[in-house]
């Protein structure tokens, strides 16, 4: 098959990697929620060789993800797991890191809330969740293009952007450690599972 390709993944992978190198420096196993084309999984596994990288997504995307993995196999890169928030149980039993990119604004609010709950329950104390994408901050958009895209998404039936304050309210066991400013008006939220 022709491998799926996302220009956005190509553009944002290096800025994201620069954050993940620090955020996951003490992690051993990371689940990627919503691996999409598979480009991020292949790239991050290559440059984070100390991690076991587990890709996951809905089953219809697995062929494309596997095509990327087959072309660039790595001993720390694993075949995609079937996972859709709200339909499947968390697919990796023991992971101390979770990564997701450009998924939260596609999900319905109840799905985004459930994802936060699933992640916080799955992570051990000190575990890290890196959440990349566009967000609202205190009810405000950081650009006109984000405002426009949010409303376009909602018109198409998607959930749209979530407010960071709402995400904080949805989790009782994780705290927002860092808010990394990223290119193209995106953010990378670095959450940590707080001690009990």
What pLDDT is recorded for position 93? Answer: 78
d(CA 143, CA 3): 32
d(CA 47, CA 77): 11
Measured CA distances, 45 to 51, 57, 182 (Å):
7, 17, 21
Enter the tokens of residue 126.
Answer: 């000190």
pLDDT in tens, the chain (196 residues): 789 999 999 999 999 999 999 999 999 999 999 999 999 999 999 999 999 999 999 999 999 999 999 999 999 999 999 999 999 988 887 899 999 999 999 999 999 999 999 999 999 999 999 999 999 999 999 999 999 999 999 999 999 999 999 999 999 999 999 999 999 999 999 999 987 6
d(CA 66, CA 1): 10
What's the number of CA atoms in the CB half-sphere (13 Å) around residue 192?
Answer: 12
Count of beta carbons in the 10 Å neighbourhood of residue 74 = 14
- β-partners of residue 181 are 187
- Ordered by where they begin, the domains of the chain are 7-193 (3.40.50.150)
Measured CA distances, 94 to 75, 171, 190 (Å):
18, 20, 19
What pLDDT is recorded for position 106? Answer: 96
């Amino acid at each position: 098959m022709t491998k799926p390709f996302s220009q956005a993944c190509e553009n944002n992978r290096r800025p994201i990697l620069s954050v993940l190198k620090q955020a996951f420096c003490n992690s051993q196993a990371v689940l990627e929620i919503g691996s999409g084309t598979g480009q991020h999984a292949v790239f991050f596994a290559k440059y984070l060789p100390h991690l076991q990288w587990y890709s996951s997504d809905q089953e219809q995307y697995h062929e494309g993800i596997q095509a990327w993995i087959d072309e660039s196999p790595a001993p720390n890169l694993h075949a995609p797991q079937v996972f859709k928030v709200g339909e499947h149980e968390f697919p990796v039993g023991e992971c101390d890191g979770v990564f997701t990119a450009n998924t939260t604004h596609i999900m319905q609010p109840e799905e985004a809330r459930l994802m936060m709950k699933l992640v916080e329950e799955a992570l051990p104390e000190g575990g890290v969740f890196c959440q990349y994408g566009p967000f609202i901050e205190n009810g405000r958009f950081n650009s006109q293009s984000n405002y426009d895209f949010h409303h376009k998404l909602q018109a198409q039936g998607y959930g749209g952007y979530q407010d960071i304050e709402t995400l904080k309210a949805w989790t009782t066991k994780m705290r927002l450690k860092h808010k990394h400013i990223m290119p193209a008006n995106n953010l990378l939220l670095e959450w940590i599972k707080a001690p009990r």
